[in-house]
Amino acid sequence: MTRHPWKTPCFAAISIFLGLLAGLLLAEAAVRIIFRGLPDGLFHQRGYFVKSPHPLAAYEHLPNSTYHEGMYRINSRGFRGPEYPPLTPEGTCRIAALGDSYTFGAAVTWEDTWVRKLEIYLNELVKNCRVEILNFGVQAYNTRNELGLLESKVLEFHPEMVLLGHLINDDFYNYIRFVRGNLMFHYEEDPDQRIPLPSSLKQFFYNHSLLYRYLSTQYLNLFRDEIEAQRAREQQNQNNNWCPPPEKRRPVDAESLRGINRLCKKNDITLVILDFPVAPWVKSIREKPADTENVSFHLKKLAEELAIKYIDLFPVLVGHNGKKLWLTPGDHHPNAELSDLYAKYLAGILAPLIQTEWENRHEVPSHSGPLRP
C-alpha cells in the first residue's frame, strides 16, 4: 500500500507551522496597514524612544511620533516641535536648547514650554534679526547624553547659540535604564519580564514586529495597576528619589561640560548655561536648598573657568509660592506659570546678548557646510 507523503506526521507538522507563520505574517501586515506605523496612544508611551547611534547620547525620541494623549509631537528629526530645515533661514538667529525634561516641557503643551515662550519674547525684544529656538530636550537626559546629542544631531542645524539646561541630577549617568523603548529608574521592574519568552527573542520581536508590540502591550495592560502600585511602593522606599542619593553624586559632570564647550568653540557657537533649580515645596520661597546651592556653586565656578555665560534661574522663584509652580504635588517639573516666568527672565538677559552677537556676525556668511564634530 502506497503511503502518500502529505499524510505523514512530519508533513502535517510542517503544514501546521507554515499555516501559523502565514497567519502571523498576514496579521502583522494587517496591523501595519490599519495603524500605518506607531499609532498615537496605542502603546501607552511604550516604545517612543529609540537607541541613539551616538554612544554618549544613548537614546533619542522616536521620529514622527505623537504620545501623551497628543501633547508631545516629535518631528521627523526626532525632537519636539515643528519641522526645521538644516540650514538657517536668512536673517534668522538660530538657537538650540539642550536639556532634560525641564527643557523638553514635561506634561505641558508645546506653547507652554519655556523654550517656545522664550522664542516669542525674544522676537518681541530683538530688533535686528528673527530668533528661532529648536527644542532638543529629552526626558531624563544628563550632561553626557547632551554632549552626544550635540555632536550627533544639533550641529547639523547650525545654531549660533546653545542654551544648556542644567539640573541637580545631571551629573549622574546610570540611574535611568533604557529597555525596549522604555525609560526606567534603576529600581523599576522591566514590565516585559512578565512575558514568558527569552530576553533576546523579546528584543528581536520588539524591534521588528508591530504585532508583537501591540499584543505585548495589551497583555501587560492586564497587570498595569499592579505594576504602577509596585513602582509607587519602590519610589516611596527610595524616599521619592528622582535623583541619586548624595553619596553617589558629583556636583557637576565637568568632563562632559568641557566637551560641550570645546564643540561650541570649535564651531563658533555661543554657549550659555542655564542653572534650573527645583522649586522648594514651600509657600514663600526665600533660600536655595543646600544641595542645590552646592551644585550651583561648582557649576558657576566651572563656567567662569571656561568663560561660559552662566544664568542662575533661582531668583525667578524668590517670593513665589513653590506649591503653585509644580505640575502636581508629586511632580517637580515646571508648570505653565513657571515656564512663563523662566522665559520672561531669560528674555531680558539674552536679548541684549543676541543683538550684540548678531551685530558681530551679520556680515559673516551663514554656515554653508556641515559643522565639525
Distance CA 188, CA 182 (A): 11
Once rounded to an integer, what is the mean pLDDT over residues 257-284?
93
**pTM listed for this prediction:** 0.73
Range of the domain at 197: 188-237
Distance CA 258, CA 146 (A): 12
Confidence of residue 240 (pLDDT cuts 50, 70, 90): very low
Confidence of residue 139 (pLDDT cuts 50, 70, 90): confident
DSSP-derived secondary structure for 190-230: -GGGGS-S-HHHHHHHHHH-HHHHHHHHHHHHTTHHHHHHH
Q: Are residues 220 and 139 located together in one domain of the fold?
A: no
Confidence of residue 373 (pLDDT cuts 50, 70, 90): low
In this prediction, residue 353 carries a pLDDT of: 97
Distance CA 58, CA 144 (A): 9
Q: Are residues 257 and 194 located together in one domain of the fold?
A: no
Distance CA 159, CA 153 (A): 11
Q: Do the domain assignments include residue 293? A: yes
CATH number at residue 72: 3.40.50.1110
Confidence of residue 265 (pLDDT cuts 50, 70, 90): very high
Q: Do the domain assignments include residue 370? A: no
Q: Are residues 277 and 196 located together in one domain of the fold?
A: no
Once rounded to an integer, what is the mean pLDDT over residues 90-97?
96
Tell whether the model's pLDDT for residue 158 goes beyond 60.
Answer: yes
Q: Are residues 304 and 347 located together in one domain of the fold?
A: yes
Q: Do residues 299 and 310 make contact, with C-beta atoms less than 8 angstroms apart?
A: yes
Q: Are residues 165 and 199 located together in one domain of the fold?
A: no
Terminal alpha carbon distance of the chain: 76
Supply 267's cell numbers.
Answer: 564651531
Q: Do the domain assignments include residue 170? A: yes
Q: Are residues 130 and 56 located together in one domain of the fold?
A: yes
Q: Are residues 233 and 119 located together in one domain of the fold?
A: no
Once rounded to an integer, what is the mean pLDDT over residues 153-173?
90
Position of cell 519641522?
Answer: 83
Q: Are residues 330 and 302 located together in one domain of the fold?
A: yes
Confidence of residue 31 (pLDDT cuts 50, 70, 90): confident
Distance CA 322, CA 332 (A): 10
Q: Which carries the bigger pLDDT value, residue 160 or residue 372? A: 160
Q: Are residues 169 and 199 located together in one domain of the fold?
A: no
Tell whether the model's pLDDT for residue 363 goes beyond 90.
Answer: no
Number of domains present in the structure of the chain: 2
In this prediction, residue 14 carries a pLDDT of: 82
Q: Are residues 231 and 322 located together in one domain of the fold?
A: no
Worst-scoring range by mean pLDDT, 73-87, 229-243, 351-365? 229-243
Confidence of residue 191 (pLDDT cuts 50, 70, 90): low
Q: Are residues 99 and 158 located together in one domain of the fold?
A: yes
Supply 31's cell numbers.
Answer: 496591523
